[in-house]
Homo-oligomer: A and B are copies of this chain.
Amino acid sequence: MTTAPRRIEPRTLKGFRDYPPALAIAREELMERARAVYRSYGYVPIDTPALEYTEILLGKGGEEADKQLFRFEDAGGRDVALRFDLTVPFARFAAQHVGSLGTPFKRYHLAPVWRGENPQRGRFREFVQCDFDTIGTTSNAADVEVSLVIADLLPALGFERFTVRVNNRKLLNGLLDSLGLADRAGPVLRALDKLPKVGREAVVAEMGEVAGVERDRAERVLGLVSLEGTNAEVLDRIEAESGGADWAAAGLRDLRQLLAVADAVGVPEGRIRVDLSIARGLDYYTGTVYETFLDELPGIGSVCSGGRYDDLASLYTRQVLPGVGASLGLDRLLAAMEQLELLSGVSTAADVLVTQFDAAHLAAYAAAAARLRRAGIGAEVYPDPRKLGAQLGYADKRGFPLALIAGPDELERGVWQLADLRGEGRARHEVSDADLPTRARDLLARSTA
């Protein structure tokens, strides 16, 4: 009598997910495109360990982040945790390595992070982020560049309709200062950040309750923050409101330069918009701040956010490292695209399926595939000489555009049938061995009928 083996239920942890091919192919493509944009601006990749000493991470992302840490004691008795973002590891990295790397230092970091938050639709406990920053300079040129990168990034990822909303914390801080509210900037800005969600009256109420700001001053803040119009109109109104006062000058100058340079390099009108309601809650930001919204996916919030900060790594080093950067929520974007069925669903990485008629001729099939590969065309050889219908069914399911077929007659004559699997016709073309790569390339260049 034999006992059946105990089977283990194959399952992922709550809040985690597998990436099957159709999704993983789309993600790799997004990553490759994002990398290409970062690199084209001179940002270079770095990587850091998934695990850090807990003391490096704890207290850096607020109470919420602390609670969500995957934290444990390792076999060596160390208190360790999985990183919850890429900013804190970058601060630690910069403190350790900036001496040898020198400044300015521009890096991108494309890697998973882990947060034990309650899973929601489209949000998981493990997700890839994609940060880019320039540190070691206070120059507004770096701030300008962040907006140019975002303006290049989104089209590269397939989104043409989006808006980069920019503000400068110096304007908000200057305004609060001029209103005698400098000491209450934190709670006032946090209240302000809720404006799109809760509306004007609730923000005024919160400013009163939490920060003791009376209606009059709250309305002045909201008036400035709610300015509408073209970028030039908004900036001119602020200048007028400030009466040319110092509190507004630096912020206005930086934003004007950002808009002028964006215009000079050809960023389409309207892609970058001054929006004084963008406060970016974190006390951390001190200059330009960015949020990016997709017109097609308004529900997912900002997909690329960031800003300028005065000192990245003060917790780990005495060296002062000002910088500016932003973070692309790549997996969140992907999850949204998936929900909206914006992904192609293709689950092949090769363009040609080489069918097998007869295992004895594997060398001929493999040689044809190798010839296609050398010409830069991906080719997969079906492993078994099953019925042609089954092999073509496999090709259809995965989305191969072309199939290569050769039965005894073709093998003897040294020719191939190249079948176009797209559209209705499924046209077959007889091609010689020598012409195979050229003909395949020509067919692939054609769009579907």
Contacts and interface: CB of A to CB of B under 8 A. Distances in A.
A32 B36 CA distance: 12
Interface of A: 5, 7-14, 16-21, 24-25, 27-28, 32, 35, 38-53, 55-56, 70, 72-76, 78, 80, 82, 92-93, 95-97, 100-102, 104, 106-107, 112, 114, 116, 126, 134, 137, 139-142, 144-145, 148, 152, 257, 260-261, 263-266, 313-318, 347-350, 353, 356, 359, 362-364, 366-367, 369-370, 373, 378-384, 394, 397
A45 B21 contact: yes
A92 B10 contact: yes
A126 B370 contact: no
B148 A366 contact: yes
B257 A10 contact: no
A370 B266 contact: yes
Contacts of A265: 363, 366-367, 369-370
A315 B7 CA distance: 5
Q: Can you tell how many copies of this chain the complex includes?
A: 2
A14 B383 contact: no
A96 B20 CA distance: 11
Contacts of A263: 363
Given A28-B35, A42-B380, 15 more contacts: A8-B316, A9-B316, A10-B56, A10-B316, A13-B74, A19-B46, A39-B378, A40-B349, A42-B349, A44-B349, A104-B382, A104-B394, A134-B383, A139-B359, A141-B359
Contacts of A148: 366, 370
A42 B379 contact: yes
9 contacts: A5-B315, A7-B318, A18-B47, A20-B46, A25-B44, A40-B373, A72-B72, A72-B73, A139-B383
A314 B264 CA distance: 62
Contacts of A25: 44-45
Contact of A48 (B18, B102, B363, B384): B18
B362 A257 contact: yes
